[in-house]
Amino acid sequence: MSKVLMPVGDAVEAVDTLYPFYRVQEDGFEMVVTGPEARVYAMVMHEIPPGWDITREGPSYHIEATIAFRDVDPNEYDGLFVTGGRAPEYLRYDKDLLNIVRHFFEEKKPVACVCHGVEIVAAADVIRNKKMATVPKCQLDVEFSGGTFVNEGCVIDGNMVSGRTWHDQYLYMPVFMKNLKEYQARKAA
């Protein structure tokens, strides 16, 4: 069974995370959750209530990381899903995670990135000269890292597909699933 890796930490956004977590499994891929340590992490819910200009954060579900970043062998995985929320703000400083992310880009394996996940791929310095979608308030993360921000629900550039928020999952997840299946077929050939 082909495996997809999903890095998480406390305050990862629940809907950004849970839909892809289950969606890849529907097509027979194993989703492996990784974190700074192998333990349970608290997710949050992000929304912009009517009349608000900023995001409100509330507690949500939990998700278990079964392997720590330092113990991941990225050669064992066919895809990477970089989810959003506040977790990427501190996860982007983890050297093991950044090395994992670089592997997926160097090997041109399928990558999906949503919302604040851009903070991780930007810190890994893998989006230079790439087009990318993210939540508009993270536009500077893309541009400071040498990328081009595109305010669309699904942006494809090389091995990466990106979306703004979980609202775009119906746009970028079919592309990510197609990329995973095509990569799996090439690998098997």
Among all residues, which ones are annotated catalytic? Answer: 115
Q: Any idea what DSSP says for residue 85?
A: B
HSE at residue 169, side-chain half, CA atoms within 13 A, is 17
Spell out a b/e string for 46-84, using b for 16 or more CB atoms within 10 Å of the CB, else e.
beeeeeeeebeeeebeebebeebbeebebeebbbbbbbb
Helix (H) or strand (E) holding 145: none
* CA 12 vs CA 17, 50, 126: distances in Å: 7, 23, 21
Tell me phi and psi for residue 100, to 5 degrees: -60, -50
Q: Listing from the earlier edge strand, what are the strands of the sheet with 155-157?
A: 67-68, 30-35, 3-7, 79-82, 111-114, 160-163, 155-157
